[in-house]
Copies of this chain bind each other. A is one copy, B any other.
Amino acid sequence: MIRHVVMFTWKAEATEEQRAAVPAELAKLPAAIPEIRRYEFGPGRNPGNKDFVLVADFDDDESFVTYRDHPAHQAFIAACVTPIAADLARVQYEVAS
């Protein structure tokens, strides 16, 4: 399996509404992108650490790329992440199935 992990730091001026839209819209993506095997996301619990995180699993690199480039995923990024993201940290790595 290929795991994709992304952490976000939001801009200070990001509104509660904008922050809340992230999980609300992410929750719609598994139905739109069948390559998603695991999709666990949520707000950070500890100040000083990152604000939000997604852990997503895929069968292989090809499936991850399909997800990464999928119109629904790209639309989510444009609408919900780009406006409020101050910083992102990303990594993909292999995990046992």
Contacts and interface: CB of A to CB of B under 8 A. Distances in A.
Interface of A: 2-3, 5, 7, 40-46, 49-53, 55, 61, 89-96
Contacts of A5: 5, 7, 53, 55
Nearest to A44: B91
If over half of A's interface residues share one DSSP class (helix, strand or loop), that class is named, otherwise mixed; here it is strand
Contacts of A7: 5, 7, 89, 91
Contacts of A41: 93
B61 A91 contact: no
- Minimum-distance CB pairs A-B, first 4: A89-B89, A50-B91, A42-B93, A44-B91
A92 B45 contact: yes
